[in-house]
Amino acid sequence: MMGRIAVIIGIVALIGLLASILSNGLSSFQQTYVSLDIFLDPAKLDKAGDRNPEAIAKVSTFGYAPLIQKALQDAMAAKGIAGDGVNAKTAAELISKEAPADLRRFVLADPSAIGQTVRFDLLAAGRIDGYYKGRVTMESAKLDRNISPEQLMLADKLKEAGILTTNFNWSFFTAPDASDTRPEAAGLGVAIIGSAYMMLIVFVLSLPLGVAASIYLEEFAPQNRFTDLIEVNISNLAAVPSIVFGILGLAVLINFVGLPQSAPIVGGLVLTLMTLPTIIIATRAALKAVPPSIRDAALGVGASKMQATFHHVLPLAMPGILTGTIIGLARALGETAPLLLIGMVAFVREYPAGPPEGFFDPASALPVQIYNWTQRGDPAFVERASGAIIVLLVFLLMMNLIAIILRRRFERRW
């Protein structure tokens, strides 16, 4: 009876945890956009009229903002929407401050678009987005410096007219992080790449090292002081708090060897050292599960110890080893504390280069990005953080599924 209650409490806690994350975070996959036909006015963007890229690049985002404001006014006039108590400038505040920058990027990438009218889906401001997600209400808008109830009413009219739409938020997966004041533009792009780089490093290093170490300990090692020392060490390392590995990375890899801060290479190495014990323990279990008769048969037909191990035992143990490796990788993917110490908290907007140079470029990582967002003032970032956690959990789920499938597929009984 008590036991059943305990089980129920445990499972309720799990469900509560997931429900809280989902209810907070699912909305981050939707985003409010403002669709406008914007006339890319040559008189403003390219005064000389010779399409000189350098001259065009000189126009800052301030040069683009009036275009958006004008387009919004035109659209409102066309649909017959009057901005009751909202002038042209405050109406333009419905659109994210990120929008002029997006526009500028578009023009710089394709200067021939100047002079044409192009349809854009611009990000709505964070408060407007929050209004349609229930985070901002008329009451809270009265107290808010950034938004007024009149603006919200205008937004409702725009929505009715189809200018304001809610779409799937692809940029959440592709965009880099954004500054404190524009949560609507913040995305996970750099963090996903950084995490992927680190996982690549962890996989490439920890699998061969872990397997080699386990093969030695399980198949070749004599029982002596040295191997005892290694074994005790491995079981201790598995239980060392993760933050201590962060200190190791900071002291040895950054201060001593001089690797760059915030770089995936440092994170990858630290996580490799953390994952190794897990992989070694799993690999040893997998090797142990291969029955001695396989080894004896190989030795019996004249194979050397090394041949018996590499040609017969290792292939049979491989599914188990891979399962353990994937579980170790999953744990490394969610690890945060050590990455905080090696500077992965930095605000990174630049995408790192492709590997291998990209390993040395500053990047972010999924869990650290989540932490980063939780530390910011705007409540919209809590939604972003929860959304990022959903992404992280989906990745973890996929990895665990692969591990389970591998195990099912190759499970054999001797």
3-state secondary structure of 120: strand
Q: What track of x and - describes contact with another protein for positions 273 through 312 (by CB under 8 A)?
A: x--xx--x-----------------------xxx------
3-state secondary structure of 95: strand
Residue 117 interacting with another protein (CB under 8 A): no
Of residues 62 and 256, the one with the C-beta less far from another protein: 256
DSSP state of 353: P
Of residues 81 and 237, the one with the C-beta less far from another protein: 237
CA distance linking residue 10 with residue 168, whole number of Å = 34
> Would you tell me how many other CB atoms lie within 10 Å of the CB of residue 406?
18
Residue 389 interacting with another protein (CB under 8 A): yes
Cα separation values, 6 from 2, 20, 154, Å: 6, 21, 52
What are the residues whose beta carbons fall under 8 Å from the beta carbon of 104, sequence distance 6 or more? 59, 60, 61, 63, 64
Report in angstroms how near the CB of residue 224 gets to another protein at its nearest.
12
What are the residues whose beta carbons fall under 8 Å from the beta carbon of 404, sequence distance 6 or more? none
What are the residues whose beta carbons fall under 8 Å from the beta carbon of 48, sequence distance 6 or more? 55
Residue 146 interacting with another protein (CB under 8 A): no
Of residues 49 and 356, the one with the C-beta less far from another protein: 356
Residue 318 interacting with another protein (CB under 8 A): no
Of residues 34 and 298, the one with the C-beta less far from another protein: 298
Helical (H) or strand (E) element with 37:
strand 30-39
By CB under 8 A, name the one of 43, 109, 143, 239 that touches another protein.
239
Considering CB under 8 A, how many residues would be counted as binding another protein? 82
Q: Where does this chain touch another protein (CB under 8 A) — which range of 137-145, 171-179, 312-320, 329-337?
A: 329-337
Residue 225 interacting with another protein (CB under 8 A): no
- Interaction with another protein in 186-215: which residues (CB under 8 A)? 208-210, 212-215
Residue 317 interacting with another protein (CB under 8 A): no
Report in angstroms how near the CB of residue 227 gets to another protein at its nearest.
8
Residue 402 interacting with another protein (CB under 8 A): no
b/e sequence 162-201, b meaning 16+ C-beta within 10 Å: ebbeeeebebbeebbbbeebbbbbbbbbbbbbbbbbbbeb
CA distance linking residue 366 with residue 389, whole number of Å = 8
By CB under 8 A, name the one of 77, 82, 204, 240 that touches another protein.
240
By CB under 8 A, name the one of 271, 298, 392, 406 that touches another protein.
392
